[in-house]
Amino acid sequence: MKKLPVYLSLALTLAGLASCEKEIEEVAQPSAQAADAQAQQTPQQLLTSSQWHLTDLKTTSKPAGATDAVTVSIFGQLKPTMRDNLTQFAADGRYILDEGATKLNPAMAQQKAGSYKLSDDAKTLTVTLPDLERVYSVEEISATQLRLKLTTGPADNAVSYESTFAH
- Judged by DSSP in three states, 144 sits in coil
pLDDT per position in the chain (167 positions), as tens? 454 444 444 444 444 544 444 445 555 565 666 556 556 899 999 999 999 999 999 999 988 888 899 999 999 999 999 999 999 999 999 999 999 999 989 899 999 999 999 999 999 999 999 999 999 999 999 999 999 999 999 887 899 999 999 99
- Do 147 and 111 share a structural domain? yes
Question: pTM of the entire structure?
Answer: 0.76
- Do 33 and 66 share a structural domain? no
Range of the domain at 7: 1-40
In this prediction, residue 85 carries a pLDDT of 97
d(CA 165, CA 46): 12
- Do 126 and 55 share a structural domain? yes
- Do 31 and 103 share a structural domain? no
d(CA 100, CA 82): 8
Q: Which residues contact 44 (CB under 8 A, 6 or more apart)?
A: 91, 118, 122
- Do 140 and 87 share a structural domain? yes
CATH number where 67 lies: 2.40.128.280
- Do 64 and 32 share a structural domain? no
Dihedral sign from CA coordinates of 74, 78, 84, 86: negative
- Do 96 and 22 share a structural domain? no
Q: How many structural domains does the chain have?
A: 2
- Do 100 and 132 share a structural domain? yes
